[in-house]
Structure 1
Amino acid sequence: MNNSDKYEELVALFDKQLEFAQNLQRKIIPAPGSFVSDDYHFYSYLRPFRKVGGDFFDFHFMDNGRINLIIADATGHGIDAAMITSMFKLSYSYTMKDEHINQFPSLVLKQIETDICQLMDNTFFTGIALIFDPDDSTLCFANAGHPAGILLRENHQVELLKPNLPMMGLCQFMPSMNYFDKRIRFSRGDKLFLFTDGLVDAQNPDEEEFSIERVIDVVTKYARLPINRIGEKIVDACMTFKQALTLSDDICILGIEFEE
């Protein structure tokens, strides 16, 4: 076998592995339309930097109309990052079966962190876990080093869901760290946007970053639109901003609106 044949064989093998990773990631990411709620409208956008990536989101329907939602971003790109997201999916699915944990977003993140770190050393990722409760108009969240979520109030005021925990993967260095949640009001007409850093770090030809400030500008400018239309406006603004430059990271955007 000559060098050309060996190269073609390696390319074919890589393509086969990539196809397997793509098929796996399609199955672990919720399909459009799978989020059905009497109280909330949902928007999602996921665009890997390569054919597969390290951005992940999922949700779980709890009792009394409550919804558990999570978004995460693993370091790295490609097949390695996609493997981590598959582990994230598995851990999240099992964690949702434990009622002693799934009532507390911080404990959900802690359990996922523990599960993954037991299998893979030096694996780091950010994430936000949340519980939406329509009966008392609240959301409870824990943010582990993830970009702040943008909460758009019904009166068009903006609040940020800033990190209250360090990024996941640091538990091996911080064994005594306390995990805690934040509970805030989330009323009818309010909208929440969550995203990975691929959105705010996207650069234009002048090496300027899209930034959370520009996301906030889009959200407030189109505040009267439904959640899916605002999500589309965010994507359009980011793609216009970066011009012809290719993405350098995965982008995931989630939006959830408490129906008026």
Structure 2
Amino acid sequence: MNNSDHYKALVALFDKQLEFAQNLQRKIIPSPGSFISDDYHFYSYLRPFRKVGGDFYDFHFLENGKISLLIADATGHGIDAAMITSMIKLSYSYTMKDDYINQSPSLVLKQIESDICQQMDNTFFTAIALVLDPKEKMLCFANAGHPSAILIKDNHHVDLLKPSLPMLGLQQYMPEMNYFDMFLDFSKGDKLLLFTDGLVDAQNPESEEFSIERVIFIAKNSSHLPINQIGKNIITSCMEFNRHQPPSDDICILGIEFEE
């Protein structure tokens, strides 16, 4: 086999592996239409930097109308990051079977971190886990080094769900770290936006970042609109800002609206 044939064989093998990873990632990330709730509207947008990526989200329906939600961002890009998201999916699905852990976002993150670190050393990712409770009109969350989520109240006031824990994967170096949940009111008419850093770090040709301040500004100005339109406005503004340059990172946005 000459060098040209060897190169072609390697490219064909890589393409086959990439196609496998792409098909796997399509299966592990739920479609927006599978989110069915009497209380909440859901919006999602996911654009990998390459054909596969490290951005991931999932949700699970709990008892009494509660909903567990997870968004995560594995370090790196491509097949390696996609494999990490597959492991996050498996751990999250397994964790949802524990009726004690699944009520606590911080314990969900702790379990996922523990599961993955047992299998792979030096694997790091950021994540936000949430539990929405429509009866109590509350949400509880834990943010592990992830960009702050944006909570838009019905009166247009904005709160940020800031990091409450370090990036996941650091547990091995911080064995005494405490895991705890944060609680916020989430009432009818309120809206919540979660996203990965690919959105706020997107740059224009002058190397200026899109920034969380721009996302908040758009969210405030669009707060009277349905959550799906707010999400679309943010994506459109981001694309116009970077002047349709090729992406440099995965972008994922989730939106939740408590139906009035």
TM-aligned CA deviation for residue 31 of structure 1 = 1.2
Q: What does residue range 35-114 of structure 1 map to in structure 2 within 5 Å?
A: 35-114=35-114
Matched, 1:189 2:189: yes
Ranges in structure 1 where 5+ consecutive residues have no aligned partner: none
Report the Cα distance in structure 1 between the residues aligned to 2:212 and 2:100, rounded to whole angstroms: 35
AA aligned to 2:69 is L
Report the Cα distance in structure 2 between the residues aligned to 1:201 and 1:31, rounded to whole angstroms: 25
Report the Cα distance in structure 1 between the residues aligned to 2:131 and 2:55, rounded to whole angstroms: 20
Does the 8 Å contact 2:32/2:42 carry over to 1?
no
Report SS of the residue matched to 1:160. strand
Q: Which residue of structure 2 aligns with residue 8 of structure 1?
A: 8
AA aligned to 2:170 is L
Report the Cα distance in structure 2 between the residues aligned to 1:102 and 1:33, rounded to whole angstroms: 23
Q: Which residue of structure 1 aligns with residue 34 of structure 2?
A: 34
Report the Cα distance in structure 2 between the residues aligned to 1:244 and 1:37, rounded to whole angstroms: 35
Residue by residue over 1:43-95, the C-alpha shift from the partner in whole angstroms, topping out at 9 and shown as x without a partner, is 00000000000000000000111000000000000000000000000000000
AA aligned to 2:121 is D
AA aligned to 1:72 is A
Q: Which residue of structure 1 aligns with residue 127 of structure 2?
A: 127
Superposition RMSD on alpha carbons, in Å?
A: 0.5
How many residues are paired up?
Answer: 260
Report SS of the residue matched to 1:111. helix
TM-aligned CA deviation for residue 215 of structure 1 = 0.3
Residue by residue over 1:119-139, the C-alpha shift from the partner in whole angstroms, topping out at 9 and shown as x without a partner, is 111000000000000001000
Report SS of the residue matched to 1:60. strand
The structure 1 segments of at least 4 consecutive aligned residues displaced by more than 3 Å after TM superposition are none
Q: Which residue of structure 2 aligns with residue 257 of structure 1?
A: 257
Report the Cα distance in structure 2 between the residues aligned to 1:210 and 1:119, rounded to whole angstroms: 36
- Identity percentage over the alignment? 75
Report the Cα distance in structure 2 between the residues aligned to 1:244 and 1:77, rounded to whole angstroms: 20
Report SS of the residue matched to 1:252. strand
TM-aligned CA deviation for residue 244 of structure 1 = 3.5
The range that moved more, 194-203 or 240-249, is 240-249
Report the Cα distance in structure 2 between the residues aligned to 1:163 and 1:88, rounded to whole angstroms: 19
Q: Which residue of structure 1 aligns with residue 144 of structure 2?
A: 144
AA aligned to 2:71 is I
What TM-score, normalized to structure 2? 0.99
Report the Cα distance in structure 2 between the residues aligned to 1:140 and 1:247, rounded to whole angstroms: 32
Report the Cα distance in structure 2 between the residues aligned to 1:151 and 1:59, rounded to whole angstroms: 18
Q: Which residue of structure 1 aligns with residue 160 of structure 2?
A: 160
